[in-house]
A and B are shown apart, each in its own frame.
With several copies, the nearest count.
Chain A
């Protein structure tokens, strides 16, 4: 579990994970968009 980040800043680990998911086009934003009603 991630440490509760100090007020407002997000841990470097999360930022790196987010960055690599985005740059490797694996981020959730690229998952097939489903038109949920």
Chain B
């Protein structure tokens, strides 16, 4: 894939909207593939820059979120800051 790491907000509104629609579908498709190939439950929640909610759940969002509330185990939890670190390490590595 692209080695570019320092991505930033698309300034042109039209371009940002088109990119959002395309990448959102792509992300849902990848989540679908992960859930089928590896037999796991996936939920994706997106609020766009206009605060509209888009969601994907492999089977049922209710079920995933309910399981989430019941989960007390330590687990992997990442944010953009963590990913930026990981990508920088890989970029250099």
Q: Count residues of chain B with CB under 8 A from any CB of chain A.
A: 19
B5-22 CB mask vs A (1 if < 8 Å, else 0) is: 000000000000000000
Q: Is the CB of B73 within 8 A of A31?
A: yes
- The tally of CB-CB contacts under 8 A between chains A and B is 88
- B61 in contact (CB, < 8 A): yes
| Interface footprint category on A | 20 to 34
Q: Is the CB of A28 within 8 A of B66?
A: no
Name the interface residues of B32-65: CB closer than 8 Å to any CB of A. 53-55, 57, 60-63, 65
- A residues in contact (CB < 8 Å) with B: 2-5, 7-11, 14-19, 21-23, 26-36
